[in-house]
Amino acid sequence: MTKKMKSTVDELIESLSSEERKKYDEEYKEFLLSELILAAMAKDDEAVKTLAKMAGVSPAIKDFNLQSFFKILKGLGSKGFMVELHGKYIPLDMPVSRKK
């Protein structure tokens, strides 16, 4: 029987405390989202301009975060979505605005 080798990333993740792991997971979600948005932007510049206008963000923005993405989703009438990663579904619920 062969022992499965762990990647350095796997070893790093296993060494994190629960609080560090939570922060890592949140930042990783934002990174994935940023990559997804940048890929979409590269394919359809006109749609990006329209979505940016609806969300009130710059279409030239290169550092998307969850807040920017949620503004776009809200502009489209969405309340949240799921991301699939390696066969696992990750819910990304939109925060409720607390504006008075």
Q: What is the DSSP letter of 90?
A: E
Q: What is the pTM of this model?
A: 0.45
Number of domains in the chain: 1
- Is 53 part of a structural domain of the chain? yes
Name the maximum alpha-carbon separation found in the chain: 62
Top pLDDT among 46 and 88 is at 88
Paired strand residues for 20: none
Any domain includes 59: yes
Give me the pLDDT at residue 94, please: 58
Domain of 65? 16-93
Q: In angstroms, rounded to a whole number, what is the distance separating the alpha carbons of residues 92 and 100?
A: 24
In a domain, 45, yes or no: yes
Give the tens place of pLDDT for each residue, 36-82: 777 766 666 667 677 777 767 776 765 666 677 677 777 666 666 77
The beta strand positions in 1-100, using DSSP E, are 80-85, 88-93
Q: Using an 8 Å Cβ cutoff, are 94 and 74 in contact? A: yes
